Amino acid sequence: MRQDYILADPWKIIEEGFDAERVESSESIFSLGNGAMGQRANFEEDYSGKTFQGSYLGGVYYPDKTRVGWWKNGYPEYFAKVLNAPNWLGIRLWVNGQELDLAQQQIQNFRRDLDMQTGIYKRSFSATFSSGEQIEVEITRFLSMARTELGAIKFQVKALSACSLQWEPYVDGGIVNQDSNWDDPFWEHTDNHIDGTFGCLRSHTLKTKFEVATYMQSQLYIKDQAVAPSQNCQVDNARISCKYAHDLDAGMEATLFKYGGYISGTNHPEDQLVLQAQKQTQAAVVAGFDTLMDEQRNAWAEIWERADIVIDGDVKAQQAIRFNIFQLNQTYNGHDARLNIGPKGFTGEKYGGSTYWDTEAYCLPFYMATKEQEVARNLLKYRHNQLPQAIENAQKLGFTQGAALYPMVTMNGEECHNEWEITFEEIHRNGAIAFAIYNYIRYTGDQKYMAEMGMEVLIGISRFWAQRFHLSPAKNAYVMLGVTGPNEYENNINNNWYTNYIAQWCLQYTAAQWSLLEQEAPDDFKRISKHTGMQTSEAEAWSKMAAKIYFPWDEERQIFLQQDGFLDKDLKTVETLDPSERPINQYWSWDRILRSPYIKQADTLQGFYLFEDHFSEEEMERHYNFYEPFTVHESSLSPCVHSILAAKLNKMEDAYAFYLRTARLDLDDYNKEVEEGLHITSMAGTWMSVVEGFGGLRVRENQLHFNPKLPKQWDGYAFKINFRGGIVQLQQSSSGTTLHWTGNAPLPVQLHGKPLLLEPNKDSFIKNIE
């Protein structure tokens, strides 16, 4: 059973009614972030029920030692951990001496409401205490997009009968990670600074020595009257708190404003952190909560102006796509090139490290189309910066001459994943990083990037592939043994079609770009040749090798096989599985999964997605029809690719079902794990499902191609994409397509395969063909 408690609304995520069993799920779903920091939707007040506490700070991590039963050479030493940072949210509250705790009082009218249009999260409820007191509470909270070191909370209490209230806003360094390999502490608290109701805790991470100041400031008002604290900030064991105490007449309200957040040594000199915290606080107090909220609305309005997707006639689909776009922007908005996009963003600890191949394979298109070009370029530069570490990583594994293997998971360029079978074998990630360079240049036309940075990355990666293939005399072809493809329900397989294919493409593309560089940028060519030792003869060898790569193939079915021997499996389709044993990763032993035919996520089909122009539609359909029935989609990255392919193949029911599955993966908790955090990177896949799937967007030879299709469940949809200095909006209705272009000069595009010239700032309406 999927969960279904989130109420449908085009712009809001709403939960009504308090259910302790849903607290951890909702903590994920109502998470807030502003690109620089983020936090799960933990309650401000203390809560004695089951909760998963998490506040996270971008770029701050801890290299936990890996856990391995029996060490072997080349195993990763560290597993980078997303760190639960000190908590600045907390506000304890007592009513006539009884502490507010939703697990203890009777709770009515509980409601959460996350307004995605403004990035403002509200929670309200009334609580009845055992001795009869009753209060109504409304809390408003946001992490400022305009001031990324600041969060703000407005905590309103209305007394239904006269009572005494005591408040204790605090900052607490006594936090733990749920996910810790050795139960080591991750933080050391070094200093405090207190001044009235201002409190600031200085901490650093162990080993990595990231310096962080966690701060807060509070103000309490009854009507417009400030209430003085009953106790200024005091420090107790890495916990700073102040207190307010007052009486409240029946029907009266008290409001506590709390401002807080983190100042990180990654952004300021270490000796300025406390000063910066004071500045942020003072500026927030001067501006006031309402002004800060206006800033927040404006910042989000700007994001939505470019990134919104409208879906008419299907409010759940509408809500879901906005939730995906909202969460992506909360996680990474491109303002800080040092950051990247963790699979769970700021919503949980799992997948520890920050950067997976997800960034290149799934997230890049979203950021290319909805942000200025610099943002996508920064995502690429991130990898270029880490090329030396990728070369070192390959060296450790026995590769030579500047071959580069990018890590499966990384914070700083070093491999920091836990599992050898992934770090050693899931080398297809190298292909996605190369493909992203191609994809970026294809979309933006920024060919200069190739000479500036792209070529060196491609050379390192191609050298890796060239060494990783070897000639099989038995097959008289180049084979690649012992890999894991995108489908992680296989390990240590031979000739994974996807990996062989993307490696072949990479060798060919690099060789071609090397020739092009020689012709078009001879100075760059010389510089890179000198720096990398790259020679034209090496490129020629790659082309020769690429022409002789082996791909497993079934003559009878006319399909490429996911890997050698795939047809030996017990080929029962997913339909035959007992539903009580799904997801299989929660019920089956690992060896049983490995030898089964079940596919965790698109693997061969991932290749058809990336390289669709290399294949006919018949070929794609044949492969889709063969592989989809074995696919359990237990990776969040799977349904989106299937949705796009299904749309292309006019399997609109499939496309729609997969769209819902990717779009509402977390809202409806398809994979029964939302309490661990949201699947952020797959949300970019959801965006692709609409724009590339239903909208049919492609870029070919510097031109946009659209091939919009409308699922029968929808009345229409609309999206915008940023392209070469202007914005194209596509609106699809049941009668036809409207295109709008904001650039200065007319833009030639293709619609359903036919050329069309978009005039600046004019709508073009084209009736459906049928």
* Enclosing H/E stretch for 193: strand 187-195
Residue from 594, 727, 756, 766 in contact with its own copies (CB under 8 A): 594
From the list 313-321, 441-449, 590-598, 685-693, the region that binds its own copies by CB under 8 A is 590-598
List, in sequence order, every residue forming a beta bridge with 723; answer none if it has no partner. Answer: 726
Q: Is 589 in the site for its own copies (CB under 8 A)?
A: yes
Local structure of 727: helix, strand or coil: strand
- Is residue 700 a contact point for its own copies (CB under 8 A)? no
Site string for its own copies, 315-354 (x = CB under 8 A): ----------------------------------------
Alpha helices in 41-172 (DSSP H): none
Whole-number minimum distance, CB 354 to its own copies, in Å? Answer: 17
Q: Is 555 in the site for its own copies (CB under 8 A)?
A: no
**Residue 492 engages its own copies in binding (rule: CB under 8 A):** yes
Q: Which residues pair with 157 in a beta bridge?
A: 137, 254
Confirm or reject binding of residue 177 to its own copies (CB under 8 A). Answer: no
Shortest gap between Cβ of 475 and its own copies (angstroms)?
6
Q: How far is the CB of 396 from its own copies (least distance, A)?
A: 7
Alpha-helix residue ranges (DSSP H) falling in 356-446: 358, 364-370, 373-385, 387-396, 420-423, 428-444
Least distance CB 66 / its own copies (angstroms): 6
Nearer CB in complex with its own copies: 523/568? 568
Catalytic residue, candidates 15, 414, 488, 490:
488
Q: Of 245, 271, 90, nearest to 193 (Cα)? A: 271
The token duo for 612 is: 């669709």
Is there a contact between 366 and 694 (Cβ–Cβ < 8 Å)? Answer: no
- Smallest Cα–Cα separation from 150: which of 60, 216, 54, 55? 216
Taking CB under 8 A as the rule, does residue 476 contact its own copies?
Answer: no
Regarding 577 and contact with its own copies (CB under 8 A), the answer is no
Asked about 488 being catalytic, the answer comes back as yes
Q: What is the DSSP string of 679-720?
A: -HHHHHHHHHIIIIIIS--EEETTEEEE-----TT-SEEEEE
Whole-angstrom Cα distance, residue 552 to residue 566? Answer: 9
Q: Does 409 bind its own copies (CB under 8 A)?
A: no
- Count residues near its own copies (CB under 8 A): 51
Q: Which of 14, 397, 516, 577 binds its own copies (CB under 8 A)?
A: 397
- Please pick, from the candidates 273, 416, 479, 528, the single residue that binds its own copies as defined by CB under 8 A: 479
Q: Which stretch binds its own copies (CB under 8 A): 106-114, 145-153, 580-588, 601-609?
A: 580-588
Q: Which is nearer to its own copies, 397 or 649 (CB)?
A: 397
When asked if residue 571 is in the footprint of its own copies (CB under 8 A), the reply is: yes
Beta bridge partners of 248: 163
Residue 233, H or E segment: strand 231-235
| 574: contact with its own copies by CB under 8 A | no
- Out of 473, 537, 576, 580, the only residue in the binding site for its own copies (CB under 8 A) is 473
Stretch that binds its own copies, among 15-23, 365-373, 562-570, 725-733 (CB under 8 A): 562-570
The string over 422-448, giving b where at least 16 C-beta atoms fall within 10 Å of a residue's C-beta and e elsewhere, is: bbbbbbbbbbbbbbbbbbbbbbbebee
Which listed residue (8, 481, 649, 652) binds its own copies by CB under 8 A? 481
- Name the residue nearer to its own copies (CB basis): 75 or 615: 75
- Coil, helix or strand at residue 640: helix
CA 605 to chain centre: 22
Taking residue 549's Cβ as centre, other Cβ atoms within 10 Å add up to: 19
Query: Which lies closer to its own copies via its Cβ, residue 68 or residue 337?
Result: 68
Which residue, among 336, 342, 334, 326, has the nearest Cα to 372 in the 3D structure? 334
What is the closest distance, in whole angstroms, from the C-beta atom of residue 218 to its own copies in the complex?
41
How far is residue 394's CA from residue 379's CA, in Å, rounded to a whole number? Answer: 22
590 binds its own copies (CB under 8 A): yes
565 is a site residue for its own copies (CB under 8 A): yes
The amino acid occupying position 557 is R
Q: Select the residue interacting with its own copies from 470, 531, 548, 754 (CB under 8 A).
A: 470
What are the distances in angstroms from CA 152 to CA 47, 142, 198, 261, 638? 20, 6, 14, 9, 37
Interaction residues for its own copies, span 419-458 (CB under 8 A) = 419-421, 424-425
Least spacing, CB of residue 79 vs its own copies, in Å: 7
Active site residues: 488
Binding site for its own copies (CB under 8 A): 66-70, 72-75, 79, 181, 396-398, 418-421, 424-425, 470-475, 479, 481-482, 491-495, 564-565, 567-571, 585-592, 594-595
